[in-house]
Amino acid sequence: MEDKQIISKNPFGLNITLPKKTIQEVQKVAQQEMANISLNPFIEYFEENDKVFSGQVANEIKKYQSQIYTLGQVMREGKAHSSFNINM
């Protein structure tokens, strides 16, 4: 006697059919939600942080690093370090 197996066309869990009414309700809710989505928070975020995205902040950081390096170079070329005298 042979064992006969029933093979489904769809994998397990995917052989469920949804009623048309359910699909229509899901589509209706999805359309309403898409209409309610606002891009204002994204636009405001990019406007507030425009200096970061345009590279102005990076340029300012490079400018300050250059100034710090130049100041350090001038200080190193200046007078020798004075010694601290502990004797009184």
Within-domain flag for 52: yes
Within-domain flag for 86: no
Of the pLDDT bands very low, low, confident and very high (cuts 50, 70, 90), residue 83 is: low
pTM assigned to the model: 0.42
pLDDT of amino acid 24: 92
pLDDT of amino acid 40: 83
Residue with tokens 């425009």: 50
Provide the number of structural domains found in the chain.
1
Parent domain of 66: 29-75
Within-domain flag for 22: no
Beta strands in 1-88 (DSSP E): none
Q: Are 9 and 15 in contact (CB under 8 A)?
A: yes
pLDDT tens profile 8-27: 566 666 667 778 898 899 99
% residues pLDDT > 70 (the chain): 72
